[in-house]
Amino acid sequence: MAERSSEEEENYNLEEHQLPIVYHSEYNVSAFGIEHLHPFDSSKWKRVIAHLKDMNLITDATTVEPSLPTFEELTRVHDRKYLKSVRNPLKAAQIVEIPLVGCLPPCVIESKLLHPLRLQAGGSVLAANLALKHGWAINVGGGFHHASYSDGGGFCFYADITMAICDLFDKKAITNAIVVDVDAHQGNGHARDFANNENVFVFDVFNPYVYPHDREARQFINKAVHVNSHTTDTSYISELRKQLTQCLENRQNLTPPGFDFILYNAGTDCLFGDPLGAMNLSPQCIISRDEVVFKLAREKGIPICMLTSGGYQKNNAHLIAKSIENLHSKNLINLGIN
């Protein structure tokens, strides 16, 4: 796949048969079976799409395909030395936490690992722009919230959350953004990137007892909501609704008032049984969680872009699809089904 020219004019209008759901068949990671040595489900994204098709919610023609970000576009949010370093097998192995990856040649690292994840990062930028145009969008991928300007970790190479928001700022399309991160792990990457940006508010619901234990980055979170293995479905939804509502309403008193964009990092690793999230929420709680966030976005009239982020069980893909189905059934998104 050729990289998109940075001079290329973007068009965020959709064809009649398309929805603001971003996906590419090359999102999925496969490297001779080595990917199975990590709990991350490296084919989650295509299985989300398969479930959505089985539910008759989308067709092959429904989704919008992203383009690869150019190297120059990546350097807007990443250090050049870092971007070159990730092609080193040892650095890549460190980020994906699979030592055997260090034995792969750089060409395989590029084609089997970096290419799919870079494409997903481009998908997040596309989805953010589609959300502004259409009110909502979902990238069936992305959410690499441990990646920052000069480093990566936890299977996150490219800071797609930073990329997406900065792209909108560069175009002067938004004034104030809020990152709503409900992945079980602390979103330390974008928190570091936006540490000195008063126009980006970081709202993070996470388990402080699991990776990445980045205490320095915690000071850059504007509103942290700590949860753990003892958090019940009821208390989780209640606290999420309460705290997020307060953050959205408090911003109305500032100048300029309100947020004009929500980047929703909707990781599903807080599901019961996840080996890395160490939480015990039910599938229905995850579905309700997404509904709460989308409903608040609708009530406040704020465009919302959802990324799927973490989730380390085989049933995560079906859960994501069921949540999207629920959002449609509650008229929080429109999948154009008669």
Identify whether 146 is a catalytic site residue.
yes
Paired tokens of 2: 């050729």
Angle 206-232-288 (CA atoms, 0-180°, nearest 5)? 80
- The active-site residue, picked from 24, 51, 146, 190, is 146
Bond from prior residue into 275 cis (ω within 30 degrees of 0): no
Q: Give the Cα separation of 129 and 20 in Å (integer).
A: 10
CA dihedral defined by 26, 32, 38, 44, rounded to 10 degrees? 30
Phi/psi of residue 74, nearest 5 degrees? -65, -35
Q: What is the dihedral of CA 298, 300, 303, 306, to 10 degrees?
A: -60
Closest Cα partner for 284 from 296, 270, 304, 274? 270
Partner residues linked to 200 by β-bridges: 177
List, in sequence order, the alpha helices (H) in the chain. 44-54, 71-74, 80-85, 89-96, 106-108, 115-134, 160-170, 188-193, 215-218, 233-250, 283-300, 316-329
Which region, left, alpha or beta, applies to residue 32 given φ > 0 means left and ψ of -120 to 50 means alpha? left
- How far apart (Å, rounded) are the C-alpha atoms in residues 271 and 313? 9
Which residues lie below 8 Å from residue 168, measured CB to CB, with a gap of 6+?
128, 129, 132, 174, 177, 261
List, edge to edge, every strand of the sheet that includes 177-181.
Answer: 21-22, 136-139, 304-307, 261-265, 177-181, 200-206, 223-226
- β-strands 261-265, 223-226: how paired? unpaired
Active site residues: 146
